[in-house]
Amino acid sequence: MGFAGVLCAQLIAAWREDRRWRRDQEREDKRWEREREKERETRSYEGRQDAYVKIIAAVEAYDWLVYPVVAAVRRIADNPQVLRQDQRDDVWRAREELRHSLGPVNLFASERFNDLLRKTMLPRSRLAMYMSSGSKAPEWTRVKELWDESQTGIKQMRAEMRKDLGLEALPDD
């Protein structure tokens, strides 16, 4: 009888230890899963942040290169002229730099953001193609329409970027 009692006590202790070990293992697995999820979120956040910075930098570079040409078209609106080759080259180079910045953001951003991205980039691309065609003088009304559309798009996109990254909205967003 004593032997059976000791054996039962050992079995119960082993069963309890096994149960405790499984609970500890489950807790550890859940902790590791939370850590992996947090790392994925951090990588995603950092990826979006980096992609957004590249897009904003490319848009700013585009605007800096293209705005002087837009201003020149405005100055000669009464007497339209074909743009000089160096102006057309600046506009085309700005478009190409903008195009090359799109890869990372398409990887990390949501579909909603990608729609805003199209609203921002397509008018800029159309403006660049229109002004760099060289076949005829660009009309100020069309240039202004595309420029204004692209500026509205960047404001909306920047507001969405700031919201996505958890930053305060800017006063003009």
Residue 114 has pLDDT above 70, yes or no: yes
pLDDT tens for residues 123-171? 998 988 888 876 777 888 888 999 999 898 888 888 888 888 888 877 7
The better pLDDT of the pair 118, 137 is held by 118
Determine the Cα–Cα distance for residues 56 and 58; give it in Å rounded to an integer: 5
Nearest Cα residue to 76 out of 87, 89, 65: 87
Reduced to 3 states (helix: H, G, I; strand: E, B; else coil), residue 78 is coil
Number of H helices, E strands in the chain: 5, 0
Contact 131, 138 (CB under 8 A): yes
Q: What is the pLDDT of residues 50-92, one digit of tens each?
A: 888 888 998 998 899 889 888 888 887 777 777 788 888 888 8
